[in-house]
Structure 1
Amino acid sequence: MELVKAMALSSLLLISGCGTTWDIVTVETSASATSPLAREQNKEAIMVLIADPKTDSEARIIAYYAYAALSLGHLASRVYEYDPAYRSARVDQRNGFYLIDIDQQLFQRSENRAEAKKGLEYVAQNLSSMKGTALISAQELQRSLTYVHYYLGLIEKADGHYKSAADQFEHFRQSPFLTNEGQRIAYIAKADIQGEMLRAEAEIARRTRAIEESERAERQRVLDKEESDKRKLADRKAKDAQVALAANPISNDEYVAALRKRYGSRIIYNNPTAFSSVSTFHIDCRAQDGRYLPLENLLLARIGSMDKESVWLESIVDSRGDEVRIYDYLKQKDGSVTEPKMTIEINSWGDLRTHGIRTEAVLNACYGSYGPIWGRNS
């Protein structure tokens, strides 16, 4: 790169006392160089220089680094030993590393980070190909730009790409040029990003649990609605039956006989004992008129209340010793069935217990909720 072009590049940042391209990243920028207007003008001028085919590769890499520095803040100054301010400066600035003083207002803007990332990635990709100049060796150039991976890691972290940030920090940590100060910075950055990754994983787990809870709640809501709809349908059929009976009254025996003719085949008895137990079991309606509810009539009426063209209810009666268990399942038109669930049992003491059927629903059947299916002692 010609000396006049190096001088032009240094003047882009309005830096006094710059004689070569390399001076750009070793001298602190002036206040006028980092004002909003000057900053954008300088960035535009740097891009023109980068696009110039006559610009050599080393100068182009340095220019990209300077462009990234202006996108995030400005280039830090080289602090010499005779400068009284060096005591408060970062150690690696004194050691000749090209550092970027990050302006948090600029860094918080995603477009600025994207600009800087583009420039820093170019530097990182081409760092190993630097050949040096008469003024500075290739190894010294590579050493001075070691922090490029650190700044890429900061950008990836700010963008929420924690895995990529961790990779950049690890690359930075493994640099052969890193000083003790750099190792300390790398250790802190690695520990911090690991903490961020753990927090991100915990947040993902929390959101996953919340989604699963929401889905479970929605499924339960759907099931509850289906159950409610079934009860409403049964109640409506019972009312319709009561209206029909009021209009065309028939005897209880005739009504039950019609149910048995239509739905009797949907009660499956596993053995004669099961049939005998159900057909002779009467539920006490606790009524003054002495009415009772035959268990078989209740089964037939429940099957009738859940009769649809596409799906219907069937019951299995099983007898084991002195105990009787009744299982219900739904059967669809295509022949598929649900898992049978026990709904009624008679224990060895002759007590009837229901499972999933409200006691009120059984007692209401004594008074016509399923039609005239009760009996009465004479």
Structure 2
Amino acid sequence: MLRLARRSSLVPLLACLAACAPPKATPVPPAGSDAAAPCPACEPPPVDDSELAAMTLAPRPSWADKYANPELDERFFDIAKLMSTHGLDRAHAVELQNHYRDLARADPGGDPQARYAEALRRATEGVFEDPRDLPRLATAPFVVVFDLDETLYDQYFEDPAVGEACHDFVSTDAKGKQRTVKLNPGVSEAFDRIHALGGAVVLFSANVDDTCWANASAWSMDGKPVLEHPAVAGMLSNSHLVLQPKTDGDPVVEPSKDLRVIDLDLERTIIVDDNPLRLFQFRNVRVYKKFQADVYCTTADASTKKAYEQGLKTVVDEIDDSLRYMKANPDTSFVDAYLPYTDLGLRAVAWLMAGTRRSRAEAISLLRAHPELADEEY
């Protein structure tokens, strides 16, 4: 996530589709899974203006959305209505919204109706902009979704001179603007360990699409683009954020990351994020201390430096501990096993320790055995 003071100069970028990674058809996952792609041979039915209007949520005021660009058609769709009307699963319905916005950026003056029809065609045929590995996401024993800005990297140096002297790569966006980017120490090791443990990684940023793709193109691990790392099974960005009307559950009024596009039952997936304000499935949230490159690169305090360097290692250690518990207790889901390390779980652990005089380890064991003791939401 981004610090507001450090992003005040950002505006949504008008980028053509060529600046984004080319859409790729995704292999069909196991039958019966929520991630199953729609039938590739099916043609979407004709649509008209009334359908587009019915699928579109009422626009938010531009002052309420820091990413809003009044010059672009960046509408939010009623995801549940798209699913029921066109037989799409949630992942493909959200991808329809992403395709629509890509098309709007490529041709701002184009016909919204034609844009919607093309986005629907792509979604119906199972096309994703990112290299989404749906079969793997449907079968992985656990999935770790990582936020990008101030979680896995920092690209907004307060002092440009620090960024020039201390960065891991330089990205260039569609307008030719360059950014120096510093990776959170331990990213490569964290991805390698998650892969070795059998898990999958998904990158999910609220930042604008063009910036995310520019960074992903410039970021390499072991000499390959980060999206080709064996742990990484996909990347989502700003156009994948959703709103949710009250007809589909509790209203979501801030554009947010919906983990159900990865894991319908929310039993195998956690998200590691420095800012939970764009999240709403809180039992799956591991709140992360912001990675601030200016501080990391300039501090003379060894303890501060070490704390930053141990941050991601600690997260993977927690995952490893949760998997060991699952092995000893096969009926426990990954999310329940990891619950004590989430923000809501930490509150429950502290409550149990104070109220029952249990040790931290004993409180964690009790919470894992009785996950209902943790609150569902704030």
TM-score by length of structure 2 reads: 0.20
Higher RCO structure, 1 or 2 (CA under 8 Å, sep 6+): 2
Largest Rg, 1 or 2:
1
The structure that is helix-richer by fraction is 1
